[in-house]
Structure 1
C-alpha cells in the first residue's frame, strides 16, 4: 500500500510540474492594488472577441514559455476586453463603456482617436506609457520589446 501511495504522489508531482505555465492576467482593480504594494512594469493587452489577431496572439504568443517567463518574472499583466460593459475602478476613478469601446481602451489604446485591436502597451512602474503597439506582435518581437523596456 505504501508503495502504491508513493507511486501516486510521484505521478501527481510529475503531472503538476509538467503542466504548461500560464500568464497570470490581472484585472485593472487587481493591478491598482498590486502597484500600491509592489511597483513594477506593466503590460496591457487590449482585445475584442471578434479580433482574429488577438486570438492568434493568445494562441501563438502568450502561450510561449519564454514570453510567460519574462512577463511572470518582470511585469504585471492585464488583459482587457475593449468592449466590456463592466465599469472599472482604477486609480480612484470609474471608467465606463463609451459607444463601441470601453473608456479605458480609448484612453490608453487609441491611435489618432481610433481603436483597432490588438493593442499592446508597456508601462513603467509609475504607470507611465513607455511604448504602444497597434498590431499583432510575434513572440520574438514581443520578447525583444519586453527585454528592452
Structure 2
C-alpha cells in the first residue's frame, strides 16, 4: 500500500514538474534599470501596489501569472514591482526618492507618486509604462485583467517599432 501511494505521489509530482509554469515575470530593481537600458533599450512596466490592496493582490495572483502576460513582459519589457509604501530610499536615474510619512504608520514613497499619479491622484494598483528615455507613455489606475494587459503591452510594443 505504501509503495502504491509513493508511486501515485511521484507520478503527480512528475506531471506537475513537466508542465510549463509561468509563475511571475522577471522583476528588476530600479537601481539596475539604467545599466539594463545601456545593454538593450526596452520600455519599462512599473506595477505600483501596496500590501493591503486586494485588487493589487488579485493582479499579482492572476494577471501577472498569465502565460501571455509573462511571455510578453519577459521578452520585450523591463518589469518593476513597486510597493508604494516602501520605506527604503530608491535611486533611479541620478535621483534618490524617499518615503514620505503622512501620519502614524502611514506614508507613500516619492517614486510611487512620481510614476503613478494620474491627474494628481495615486490609486492602487497603478500600472505605468515608461519608454527607454524614462518618459511615461501610459498609465492606468485600477485592476487590469490578463486580456486587458496583453492588449496594452502589445500596443506599446507595436508603438515602439514605429
TM-score normalised to the size of structure 1? 0.85
- Aligned partner of 1:101 in structure 2 is 108
- Aligned partner of 1:42 in structure 2 is 44
TM-score normalised to the size of structure 2? 0.79
1:120 aligns with 2:127: yes
From 133, 139, 152, give the equivalent of 1:145: 152
- Aligned partner of 1:68 in structure 2 is 70
1:54 aligns with 2:61: no
Deviations 1:30-87 (A, max 9, x none): 2222112211111000000011100000111000001000111110000000000000
Deviation at 1:125, TM superposition (A): 1.8
Deviation at 1:19, TM superposition (A): 4.5
**5+ long unaligned stretches in structure 1:** 1-10
Deviations 1:80-113 (A, max 9, x none): 0000000011111111011211000011111233
- Aligned partner of 1:129 in structure 2 is 136
**5+ long unaligned stretches in structure 2:** 1-12, 102-106, 157-162
Number of aligned pairs? 137
Q: CA RMSD in A?
A: 1.7
Deviation at 1:124, TM superposition (A): 1.4
Q: Distance in 2 between matches of 1:93 and 1:66?
A: 34
Q: Distance in 1 between matches of 2:20 and 2:153?
A: 24
Kindly indicate whether the alpha-carbon contact (under 8 Å) linking 1:31 and 1:78 is maintained by their aligned counterparts in 2. Answer: no
Q: Distance in 2 between matches of 1:90 and 1:71?
A: 21
